[in-house]
Structure 1
Amino acid sequence: MQRKHHALWGYLFITPQLIGLLFFSLLPLLYALSLSFMNWDGFGTPSFAGLSNFAGQLADPHFWKAMVNTVYYMVLVIPVGMLLALLVALALNKTAGKELYRLFFFMPVVTSSVSVGVIWMWILNGEFGILNQLLGYIGITGPQWLTDTRWVIPSIALLSIWWGLGNNMVIFLAGLQGISKSYYEAAQIDGASRLQQFRHITLPLLSPTTFFVTIMSIIGSFQVFDQAFVMTNGGPAKASYTLVYHIYDQAFIDFTMGESAAAAMILFLIILVFTLIQFGMQKRWVHYGD
């Protein structure tokens, strides 16, 4: 009887979250799925279009341009961002006052995307930006970061790495603090070096954390929009035109809601595939039982 009573309280506490998940995630997802099979301009009555919206997206050069830009951005952001976050977490793990440092690193995460974008527009300005001025002090002529098609995605990636560093660092730091010191003490007795301890203890036992950060980084990279919208408006020449920007463009500029929903469903499937792959790899990554 007492277990049922505790279970009832548990269900009661998670009910608001379940209601929010239903009305703000699952129902909009189902609506977008149904809309992807419709022709609709946002007004009037939708008409059934079958798979034509999906075929139209796959034949749309703008969709593939957005895909290439998004993958390029992802390749730049994920490995560099995760590596820097892990290095900072390792540095802070045994540092006195790490709570204060953690606060400083995490502050950009809670700053609004528009504010961050505006600040970095000034930093990356090719004429009077602070980054080019600093490069000039060491004899390097900085590029036009946000108006050069070669540099615009790396510029947005640089912003995103800085912006997300604190979040990934805190997650890695939590993972590091969850590793028992007894493993390192046993390794020291066996004469293992710091590098050997990191390779054979820290990395394997940190694999669940790495798994989580990787999935969240992939999802976040495929959903990049704010930075490109605020800083470059998708330009120059669509060089920073991302998948979510394409979805926005289709819906609120061209008013082709069905094609926008189809593009969103394709993005959903891509993220789902990556997530399933990561879950499959998890069996090889986690070594707590070894």
Structure 2
Amino acid sequence: MKSANKNAPYLFISPAIILLLIFSILPIFIALFISFTDLSLAGLADWSRINFIGIENYQKILKDPIFIKAAGNTLYYVVIGVPLVVIISLGLAILINVGDGKFFSFMRLIFYAPSITNIVAVSVVWTFLYNPNIAIGLFNQLLDLVGIAPVSWLQDPAVAKISLIILALWRGTGINMLIFLAALQGIPPEYYEASELDGASKWNQLRFITIPMLKFSIFFVSITTVIGWLQFFEEPFVMTEGGPLNSTTSIALFLYRNGFQLNEFGYAAAGSLILFVVIILITLFQLRGQLKND
């Protein structure tokens, strides 16, 4: 009877484990196998046409100038986007947390709504907002009102990445803000009351109470945000298709092109494994840093 009770938890979690193995773990090994082949549509139709080519795909992709460009773009998205998301989300959470009433509840809804809005629909709308034609693009209309020349938001390689980052910030801030809000509301108010009795300023309270108490939340938001930006796909896919001149092509978009447009499944699988390893290494590096600070 005791043995049956010990095995009961495993019985309940077994459906989730099976789904995890089928849809998460197994595809990784399948992609690893495919990455060592020249699999294409012809190979799917006739398996005898699939050839084992070893590490040729990896050698080729690491010399591909478009992949290198995509990797640089993705690094740019991560370096610029992640700190902005964390800082803006944390700042909004702190500002909203100090307030009360319907207004601040409404502000939570306003900032959270973009996170649950369909990304394709949002991207289409923002494409119109970014339109370089003053008669169509709202942003250029606003610039025209203050005497600034129209900006080619999505047509200028120097501006296009920033334009996509702005949209991604607008979308990604809300959910992280709620995470910080939940963490802020879990800080015992006695800490702030005691610090006020000691004459601590708001800045010192933020520095020595709020930020240290949010250390794990900041780590969680940082690591999930990095992973999300490394897989940046929807915005460049819908709004720019990687242009102009591949200036907005991310690694994820590069993999999509080669896998589903050029039908080079083995080549795309090799790229996906490289991205997978990069995500694992960065995650482990962040985790190690977090453990050192604990």
TM range (shorter): over 0.9
Corresponding residue for 2:19? 20
Is residue 80 from structure 1 mapped to residue 84 from structure 2 by the alignment?
Answer: yes
8 Å CA contact retained: 1:107, 1:166: yes
Structure 1, 78-87 or 159-168: larger mean CA deviation: 78-87
AA partner of residue 222 (structure 1): L
Residue correspondence of structure 1 range 106-255 to structure 2 within 5 A: 106-127=112-133, 128-255=136-263
What TM-score do you get using the length of structure 2 for normalisation? 0.92
Secondary structure of the residue aligned to 2:157 is: coil
Q: 1:230 to 1:209 in 2, by over 3 A?
A: same
Question: Residue 51 of structure 1 is aligned with which of 49, 55, 59?
Answer: 55
Q: CA deviation at 1:138?
A: 2.1
Task: Please tell me the root mean square deviation across aligned C-alpha atoms, in Å.
Answer: 1.7
Find out whether 1:68 has 2:76 as its counterpart.
no
Give the total of aligned pairs: 285
**Rounded Cα–Cα distance in structure 2 between residues aligned with 1:185 and 1:3:** 51
The one-letter code matched in structure 1 to 2:15 is P
Contact 1:208 1:285 in 2 (8 A): no
Change (3 A) 1:251 1:88: same
Q: Using the alignment, how far apart are the partners of 2:292 and 2:199 within structure 1?
A: 27
Contact kept? 1:109, 1:163, Cα under 8 Å: yes
1:104 and 1:17, CA in 2 relative to 1: closer, same or farther beyond 3 A? farther
Q: 1:112 is aligned with what amino acid?
A: N
Q: Distance in 2 between matches of 1:84 and 1:71?
A: 20
Tell me, in whole angstroms, the C-alpha distance in 2 between the residues paired with 1:88 and 1:9: 44
Gaps of 5+ in 1: none
Q: TM-score, normalised by structure 1?
A: 0.93
Please give the alpha-carbon distance, in whole angstroms, between the structure 1 residues aligned to 2:112 and 2:4: 41
Q: Which of 256, 263, 267 is equivalent to 1:259? A: 267
Change (3 A) 1:285 1:170: farther
- C-alpha change, 1:209 and 1:249, in structure 2 (3 Å) is same
- Is the CA contact (8 Å cut-off) linking 1:228 and 1:241 kept in structure 2? yes
Secondary structure, counterpart of 2:205 in structure 1: helix
